[in-house]
Chains A and B, each alone.
Chain A
Amino acid sequence: MIAKENSADVLTLEGISKSFPGVQALSDVSLRFHPGAIHAICGENGAGKSTLMKILSGTYRADGGRILLRGKLILIKNPRHAQELGISIVYQERSLANHLTVAENIYVCNQPATRFGFQQTDVLREQAMALLSRLNLPISPEEPVGDLSPGMQQMVEIAKALSHQPDVLILDEPTASITETETRSLFALLERLKQSGVAILYISHRMAEIFEIADVVSVLKDGKLNGTFPIAALTADKLIHHMVGRSLPNRDYEKRDFGRRVLEVRRLSGKGFSDVSLSLRQGEIIGVAGLVGAGRTELACAIFGANPATEGSIAVDGVPLSIMHPADAMRVGIAYLPEERKSQGLFMDMTLEENIVSATLRRLARRGFVKTSAATKATERLMDRLRVKAMGVNQQVGELSGGNQQKIVLAKWLLTNPKVLMVDEPTHGVDVGAKAEIHGLLKSIAKEGCAILLISSELPELLELSDRVLIMRQGILVHEIERQEATEERIMAYAAGNGE
């Protein structure tokens, strides 16, 4: 029975599962892709979309399940092998060499060459020209890629993927960094590819696009397939409902009294966001929701001075400030736990103590000389409070688990005694136990009077912790929801651009 149905599919996934330590990233996902159809895959952040893609590209090996290509069982060994099998992927991040020409980029791994390995420039140019004109792309093969607009670079990426003449083309958020007009020409190109019989996997969470271009939509949620629907059977509301799937009311939330206003941001603009105003009171936790690229991190970095704002004002305790460097922000009691733990938060080959005191060096010193005993005492106190599991203050932070590493970064900022603590994806890549502990900790420091700005892509986390939720979309603060009225569906609707 299955074999018969499969014959119409170009690519079939049967019961694909994949787990990482502490996370079941995908469980029992079965999907079928037809030639000449655009199949959208959507889901919240962390639903398993990128894991699925990495399995198809051969970057990860599935723990269980089968992949069939035209009815034949295949084992994808690595990205190169995926290409040879006819599966091409265009990633969200560009992988082009800016200084090389369009043609050289398209044929990067199969350049026409003479017997002695010398590049055949003429053949290369002709091949590229033929491909580009077949795709109807107005790009010269001899132009350096760096001179093209982002949208055209995206087209070159697609041309590169198509140079292998794939049966399956996978696109990951292809419109994330291109303009509206460029999106139009991208869609026209996809339409033509569809006609020629390519099966297209389109990963996106932009509602409008999905409804415009997809034939079929599959929804992933928490690593499980939540259904595959023909587009005609869906409305935006229904789709969001399938993506989020839980519309639980807020149970035991009680509104608390907050203290005086500590942070006041007025009409702040900068790279990636514009005209954002918000205020934060003592003891209050404000959640900031939005899709990846909505400008939330950029906003926090501007308030913290890591990427100073270009316009607008920031005031702490009513005093307007010019914050040009994180040191300026720290002086008035603003702290920021960055999104990327390893590259921005930690000094991986230094010890726990050195990490925890890194933002408080001066305070722990007398006449400029570090008081080792004071530093050690402070470190031990915090490690105790945060229940960090480690061998001692002198262990290297790189040897700890993700959850404990995150606690170390949090400890570092708690040691500064912040008035305003901004946390960016505080439980990203952290196991369930540590996550609950971090949530408890954030609540308790809010109770002690710290104002918290919580940036999170996990809706349950936002709903569990926040007193109010701000929603950003494409750099703009689009909506604010009080805790009592917030549901995951409403937040998602605003974040994806489908709010009432």
Chain B
Amino acid sequence: MNINRLLQQREIAIALSIAVVCIVASIAWPSVFPTFGNLSQLFLNISIETIVACGMMILLISGAFDLSVGSVVALSGGIAAYLLYNHGMYPLPAILAGVGAAALIGLINGYLVAYVGINPMIQTLAMMGIVRGAAMMISGSGIQNLHADFTVLGQSRFLGFQSPVWIMMAVVLVLHVLMSKHVLFRQYYYIGSNEQAAILSGIRVKRLKMHSFVLISLLAGIAGVLLAARMGAALGTSGRGMELRVITAAILGGASLLGGTGKVFGALLGTIFMGLVSNVLIIARVSGYWQDIVLGIILIVAVWLDLALKKQSVKSLKKVVGKR
């Protein structure tokens, strides 16, 4: 019963899975896997998606999601690179323009979902297409040879980790603390748990919903600029498929499409686990196509397990109540 309860905290289940994979991989490839270089690379690989996954976690907690984030990543990076390369702008205003455009997309999504009442799936699906088109127009087949003043943002190193990793850590930490302690952010749990009751508790649901869409777009904007800086180039196709990967990570890390559950830290666990799986598969020289198949299976198994455990604990609860 106790172990059952513990495993129901999906964060704990995923943390255990991470530990198991690490131990097995360390035994199997002692000279390749458990090295600082590999660890640093793994974190760098997941850093940009994790920044977006944190925002997705907040949205999922409130009972919504955003499919346009992958396109927004390409757009903000594209705008920043375009201004840098074609107009010789300084890095800071170019970055602000890219991130600002992203926030504007979020504002439009948020307004239409929260105040007009368009279903978030439809709204962000449409926006995904629109923004991708715009990003392709701006970046074309790619804007390269970006100035070193800009790329330093994504390529400098501190204590062995590259800067996107540090930015990711900061984002996870700040948002995790806010979501667990700050009243403004705590309200998302109430909205996701019971929107009607939240309204009747005086929570300004519409406004908060709009904010959450702005926040995730802002994070996607930052991620896009970081990605361009790290690669030294902006591509119209970057971030493609990222929306579904970050939703997968958030769900593995404890979110539910029904809302109300999850922790920001769980999003990081989710991306670490996914990064780990691809890392191990690469080390094992398994074809890249297998990654998607394996992750798909893991997602189903995780949610299935969750449902089974919940059913079991309802049963045992009924027994306890019956005895009383």
Contact = CB atoms under 8 A, between A and B. Distances in A.
8 contacts: A306-B199, A326-B202, A347-B190, A347-B198, A347-B260, A358-B201, A369-B182, A412-B201
B33 to A, nearest CB: 39
B323 to A, nearest CB: 14
B181 A369 contact: yes
Contacts of B186: 361, 370
A325 B204 CA distance: 8
B189 A330 contact: no
B200 interface: yes
B199 A346 contact: no
A349 B201 contact: no
Interface in A347-400: 347-350, 354, 358-359, 361-362, 364-365, 368-370, 399
Contacts of B182: 365, 368-370
B200 A345 contact: yes
Given A361-B183, A368-B183, A350 B193 contact: yes
A343 interface: yes
A359 B201 CA distance: 5
B260 A368 contact: no
A276 interface: no
Interface string A30-73: 00000000000000000000000000000000000000000000
B197 A343 contact: yes
Contacts of B190: 347, 350, 354, 358
Q: Which 8 A-B pairs have the closest CB atoms?
A: A347-B193, A327-B202, A330-B202, A361-B183, A365-B183, A359-B201, A326-B202, A358-B201
Nearest to A326: B202
Interface residues of A, number: 29
The B interface is mostly helix, strand or loop, or mixed, namely helix
Given A306-B200, A343-B194, A345-B200, A368 B184 contact: yes
Q: Which of B182, B183, B187, B197 has the largest number of chain A CB atoms within 10 A?
A: B197
Contacts of A426: none
B183 A370 contact: yes
Nearest to B204: A327
Nearest to B320: A399
Contacts of A358: 190, 197-198, 201, 203
Contacts of A330: 202
B71 interface: no
A322 to B, nearest CB: 15
A130 B320 CA distance: 57
Q: Place the interface of chain B in its size category.
A: 20 to 34
B317 interface: yes
A21 to B, nearest CB: 10
A71 B189 CA distance: 57
A344 B204 contact: no
Nearest to B177: A369
Interface string B304-318: 000000000000010
A327 B205 CA distance: 10
Contacts of B260: 347, 349-350
Nearest to A416: B202
A372 to B, nearest CB: 8
Contacts of A338: 197, 200
B309 to A, nearest CB: 15
A336 interface: yes
A336 B200 contact: yes
B215 to A, nearest CB: 16
Given A354-B189, A368-B184, A369-B183, A346 B194 contact: yes
Contact of A399 (B189, B203, B317): B317
Interface in B31-75: none
A348 B194 contact: yes
Interface in A204-247: none
B196 A343 contact: yes
A327 B200 CA distance: 8
B182 to A, nearest CB: 5
A364 B203 CA distance: 15
A361 B187 contact: yes
Nearest to A363: B183
Given A344-B197, A347-B194, A347-B197, 10 more contacts: A327-B202, A345-B200, A347-B260, A350-B190, A358-B198, A359-B201, A361-B183, A361-B186, A368-B184, A399-B317
B201 A326 contact: yes
Q: Which of B183, B184, B317 has the largest number of chain A CB atoms within 10 A?
A: B183
Given A361-B187, A368-B182, A368-B184, A326 B193 contact: no
B261 interface: yes
Given A326-B200, A343-B196, A370 B181 contact: yes
Interface string B199-218: 11111100000000000000
B193 A348 contact: yes
A369 B261 CA distance: 20
A362 B190 CA distance: 14
A370 B185 CA distance: 10
A304 B186 CA distance: 23
Contacts of A304: 200
B262 to A, nearest CB: 12
A325 B203 CA distance: 9
B183 A346 contact: no
A262 B186 CA distance: 32
Contact of B199 (A326, A364, A370): A326
Interface string A310-350: 00000000000000011101100000101000011111111
